[in-house]
């Protein structure tokens, strides 16, 4: 899953793809590099991010989704707003990537209307405050149980198990220790029967480990996480550098296939 943020303030690529033509060129580049899905987002969810209005988010994403879908590209819409999700689905998106894990009951209505694929992600709190003081007694168990409830809500809206991905929400209301614990336990999430999406690309905990402040310079660390994630049972990787991660995952897939 290639990341396409049409936002001014995303942590890694904010402001790079505000021009629709530049955004579309980047999406096609990621497809050429081996992406299977393009995840289009019009609102940053980095720690401390400010919310944007429904109207502004739609203005950023709908035309991009429409153009990509018209080219036969599988598009995911990264939004927690039901109205934005509905508009993106009407424009041709096939997947809703909801970082709030269907907290809004209206998102269930959108699922019932269109039966798209859905990603339910765990987040403690909200983007503006999620990193203030994240606390868990059992981060793996609590995140798993929360995601199972969200996945079951999606199924109650008419989706099949195979249409639902669960995402432990690396970096969303978690310390670095929480993130590493979740990554070490991907097999526990995969054992639920749902596909597992991992979105660790370029995130701060990788930079903290390697003393690397530039998000782009964390791509090698992202590749290491990608390989480990596939070996533990992840189904989808949400990444910025598709070419590098595709090559790394090809190796990981060969190891899994040999098993």
Q: CA-CA distance, 243 to 2, in Å (whole number)?
A: 10
CA 213, 217, 222, 224 dihedral sign is negative
Q: CA-CA distance, 69 to 89, in Å (whole number)?
A: 10
81 catalytically annotated: no
* Cβ pair 2, 38 in contact under 8 A: yes
CB atoms within 10 A of CB 211: 6
Structure letter (DSSP) for residue 181? H
Structure tokens at 40: 């289009």
Q: Which of 203, 218, 232, 246 is catalytic?
A: 203
What stretches of 51-207 adopt beta strand conformation (E)?
75-78, 95-98, 117-121, 164-167, 195-198
Q: Which of 60, 218, 238, 246 is catalytic?
A: 238
203 catalytically annotated: yes
How far is C-alpha 24 from the geometric centre of its chain's CA atoms? Answer: 19
Q: Return left, alpha or beta for 182; rule: phi > 0 is left, psi -120 to 50 is alpha, else beta.
A: alpha
Give the closest residue to 1 by CA, choosing from 123, 96, 112, 110: 96
- Looking only at the bridges linking them, the beta strands covering 164-167 and 117-121 are parallel
List residues with catalytic annotation. Answer: 203, 238
């Amino acid at each position: 899953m290639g990341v396409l943020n049409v936002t001014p303030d995303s942590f890694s690529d904010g402001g790079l793809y505000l021009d629709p033509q530049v955004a579309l060129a980047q999406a096609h580049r990621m497809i050429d590099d081996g992406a299977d899905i393009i995840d289009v987002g019009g609102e940053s969810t980095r720690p401390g991010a400010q919310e944007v209005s429904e109207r502004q988010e739609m203005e950023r994403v709908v035309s991009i989704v429409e153009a990509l879908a018209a080219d036969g590209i599988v598009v995911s819409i990264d939004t927690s707003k039901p109205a934005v999700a509905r508009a993106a689905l009407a424009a041709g998106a096939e997947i809703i990537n909801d970082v709030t894990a269907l907290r809004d009951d209206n998102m269930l209505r959108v699922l019932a209307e269109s039966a798209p694929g859905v990603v339910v992600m765990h987040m403690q709190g909200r983007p503006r405050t999620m990193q203030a003081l994240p606390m868990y007694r059992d981060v793996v168990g609590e995140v798993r149980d929360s995601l199972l409830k969200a996945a079951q809500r999606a199924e109650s809206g008419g989706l099949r198990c195979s249409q639902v991905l669960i995402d432990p929400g690396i970096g969303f209301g978690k310390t670095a220790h929480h993130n590493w614990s979740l990554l070490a336990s991907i097999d526990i999430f995969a054992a639920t029967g749902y596909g597992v999406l991992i979105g660790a690309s370029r995130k701060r905990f990788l930079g903290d480990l390697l003393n690397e402040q530039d998000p782009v310079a964390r791509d090698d660390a992202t590749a290491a996480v990608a390989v480990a994630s596939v070996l533990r049972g992840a189904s989808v990787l949400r990444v910025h550098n598709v070419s590098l991660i595709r090559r790394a995952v090809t190796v990981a897939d060969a190891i899994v296939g040999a098993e």
